[in-house]
Chain A
Amino acid sequence: MQKIETLFVDLSDWFIAWLQSLGVPLAWADAILLLIQFLCIVGIILANITILIWLERKVSGFIQQRPGPNRLGPHGVFQTVADALKLLTKEDIIPSKTDRLIFITAPILFMTISVMLYIVLPMGKDMQVVDLNVGLFFFISLGSLTTIALLMGGWGSNNKWSLLGAMRSVAQMISYEIPLALSLMGVVMITGSLRLSDIVAAQDNVWFILLQPIAFITYFIAATAELNRGPFDMPEAEQELTAGAYTEYSGMRYALFFLAEYTNLVAVSALLSTLFLGGWQGPWLPSWLWIIIKTYLVMFLFMWVKWTFPRIRMDHLMAFSWKVLIPVTLVNIVATGFGLYIFKGIGG
């Protein structure tokens, strides 16, 4: 049991020791380990997305009382593989009137940012690429950078739908950035640290979803808007904007945007389970299995919301953020402050 728990940590320790036995200096060995960790993260992301897109189609089928993909392999599990092969070999169209450099870099930037989110996520006990002391801040600030990638895609396409979609996404993401950050303040106040490993350790006795239920709900709503997922998928509202910022993208460039959105979804779900659901802590099973289970539960919640709620109108969306979410999160912060003051007063 202990062996399984520390499997990956032992592996990396053993790898460093092996490299040093070959006469590689420690700094170089660490650098090589970082490279391998990067490759592992990319592998985790790709494997997760392959499962996730299939799961999304199955869950949507389940909710709409249809079987979903079921012809290709058992329960249609190879459907995503076929889609990926097709997208890889599609023609790559770059329209002549585009701003070429911006058009090409936008999907790459989007994907890069999404992969960077993973370096601070604790994926198990002592399993974190970098344990930054501003981990949460790093995550939120990188998450808001994706707006720029979307805006670049919309602007570079030189297409009215793309530009409108990009503008909408900027407006939406900036307004939802505020409740997103504010709702996490309660957790940070209780823990007294922005380091994600500290936040997990602070949930040893009680999960923060019990101490901060309102923050959990507001963060969930704001994160749905950040991820551009339904019911907040205004930037790519099909009926009005064709495909929003992605309208001019074809083949693998479009697939990169698609992949990055799902990469973001996995990262945000993992952060949600780290902050509110006790992270990798749990009985019996190894820690890295617990975080996977919790992340998948949160992702199922995201899908459930997407496929059961209709899309919200743009002005209602903005009004909801400024008039409901921000006041609620502010009140939550004040209440948490009072609660902490009283608790510390009683405790000594």
Chain B
Amino acid sequence: MAVDLNKENNDVEVLQKNNILVTTLEKIWDWGRSWSFWPLNYGCNCCPIEMLAASAARFDIARYGYEVFRASPRQADLIIVAGPVTLKMKPILERVWAQMPEPKWVLAMGNCATSGGPFKDGYSILPGCDTVVPVDVYVPGCPPRPEALFHGLLELKKKVASGQYTHRR
């Protein structure tokens, strides 16, 4: 059945003139999701220090409402992979990722998580966490400053709010 797109757009415009806004539930949900990432407590050593700095007084991740760090993956939306993924850590990362409920996101923080960083040639280091989990946003730096982490989070917010992410289920 052919749909007259022009006619539909006209209808929306007429409604808007009468102060009626039209939206979809998906848009509202994406709005809610984009403003409330609850990150998982996950990290290895020096990037998490910057993550802690980001939640402390000077930078304050709470301004964006992302300060609710959850210890249980069941309640987390976002896993900030901060640190290199070793062969030993790989199954754990996989399991934690699988335990998180949909919709969920990954932010690769620091050079180790994006590409293996200085340990890239090591026999036990994977070249980046994107070999294990689907990464949404990469934040380079060794370690990245809290501002860089915020920039990454805000980019992720834009991505989620625009709805241009794949529902992985």
Residues of A in contact with B (beta carbons under 8 Å apart): 57, 60-61, 64-72, 76, 78-79, 81-86, 88-93, 238-239, 242-243, 246-251, 254
**A66 with B60: CB separation less than 8 A:** yes
With A82-B31, A86-B33, A89-B29 known as contacts, the answer to whether A67 contacts B63 (CB < 8 A) is: yes
A-B Cβ contacts below 8 A, count: 103
Which of B34, B65, B102, B169: most chain A CB closer than 10 A? Answer: B65
**A254 contacts B71, C-beta separation under 8 Å:** no
Q: Is B131 an interface residue (CB 8 A)?
A: no
Which of these, B41, B62, B72, contacts A61 with CB under 8 Å? Answer: B62
Q: Cβ of A90 and Cβ of B101 under 8 Å apart?
A: yes
| 7 examples of A-B residue contacts, CB within 8 angstroms | A72-B35, A76-B63, A82-B35, A83-B35, A85-B33, A90-B77, A247-B74
B32 at the interface (CB under 8 A from A): yes
Is B165 an interface position by the 8 A CB rule? Answer: no
Min C-beta distance of A76 to chain B, whole Å = 7
* Residue among B31, B34, B41 with most chain A CB within 10 A: B31
Pairwise interchain contact B71-A57, C-beta atoms closer than 8 A: no
**CA A257 – CA B128 in complex, angstroms?**
37
CB contact under 8 A between A86 and B77, given known A72-B35, A242-B71, A243-B71: yes
Partner of A91, one of B57, B64, B169: B169
Chain A residues whose CB sits within 8 angstroms of the CB of B36 once the complex forms: 79, 82-83, 85-86
CA distance A76 to B75 in the complex (A): 22
**What string of 1s and 0s marks CB contacts (under 8 Å) between B45-60 and chain A?**
0000000000011001
Answer whether A81 and B32 are a contact pair too, CB < 8 Å, given A68-B63, A76-B65, A250-B101: yes
B63 touches which of A71, A238, A246 (Cβ 8 Å)? A71
Closest to A61 in B: B62
A69 touches B77 (CB 8 A): no
> Chain A's interface: helix, strand, loop or mixed, by majority?
loop
B56 cross-chain contacts in A, Cβ below 8 A: 64, 66
B70 at the interface (CB under 8 A from A): yes
Given that A79-B35, A243-B75, A250-B75 are contacting pairs, would A67 and B62 also be in contact in the complex, using a CB cutoff of 8 Å? yes
Beta-carbon contact of A70 and B63 below 8 Å: yes
8 Å CB contacts to A: which residues of B61-93?
A: 62-65, 67-68, 70-72, 74-75, 77
- Render B113-147 as a binary contact track against A, CB cut-off 8 A, 1 for contact: 00000000000000000000000000000000000
Q: Which B residue sits closest to A54, measured CB to CB?
A: B65
Pair A85/B28 contact, Cβ less than 8 Å? yes
Question: Which A residues lie within 8 Å of B74 (CB)?
Answer: 93, 243, 247-250, 254
4 extra A-B contacts, CB within 8 A, seeds A82-B36, A85-B29: A68-B62, A86-B32, A86-B36, A89-B103
